[in-house]
């Protein structure tokens, strides 16, 4: 790898971290979602007042895929991948719609 490649990778990592934190902060504004701290390219969220499968299904109907868990210990959680800002905005808009239902 060249120095230019490393600089590109570092710039991408920096952008991902910033977007992950922006997404996590936005998710925290929804009273029924509790995003947990993350060091990865996804945010794990605890769901309150809805089942995680309800959230997964409602988003899937809107063309947005997030991951629920079949393990009973993780039944109240969803995993939300950090995407490009415009994709994350679409996700947040859909979650706000669910918040208003």
Say which residue, 100 or 65, is predicted with more confidence. 65
Tell me the CATH class for 3-99: alpha beta
What lies within 8 Å, CB to CB, of 22 at 6+ separation is 85, 88
Tell me the pLDDT tens digit for each residue of 13-56.
999 999 999 999 999 999 999 999 999 999 999 999 889 999 99
pLDDT at residue number 61: 97
Mean pLDDT check: name the lowest of 54-58, 81-85, 95-99. 95-99
Query: pTM, whole model, 2 decimals?
Result: 0.89
Binned at pLDDT 50, 70 and 90, residue 99 comes out as: confident
Structural contact between residues 51 and 78, judged by C-beta atoms closer than 8 angstroms:
no
Question: What is the DSSP-derived secondary structure letter of residue 72?
Answer: G
Check residue 48 and give its pLDDT. Answer: 93
3-class SS at 90? helix
Cα separation, 33 vs 95, in Å, equals 10
Element (H, E) at 24: helix 3-27
For the chain, how are helix, strand and coil distributed in percent, rounded to 5?
50, 15, 30
Average pLDDT over the chain, rounded to whole?
94
Site of tokens 């947040």: 92
């Amino acid at each position: 790898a060249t120095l230019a490649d490393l600089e590109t990778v570092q710039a991408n990592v920096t952008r991902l971290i910033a977007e992950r934190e922006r997404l996590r902060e936005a998710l925290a504004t929804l009273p029924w979602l509790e995003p947990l701290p993350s060091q990865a390219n996804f945010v794990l969220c605890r769901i309150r007042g809805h089942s995680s499968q309800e959230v997964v299904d409602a988003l899937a109907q809107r063309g947005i895929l997030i991951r629920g868990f079949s393990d009973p210990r993780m039944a109240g959680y969803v995993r939300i991948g950090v995407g490009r800002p415009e994709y994350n905005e679409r996700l947040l808009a859909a979650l706000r719609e669910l918040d208003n239902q």
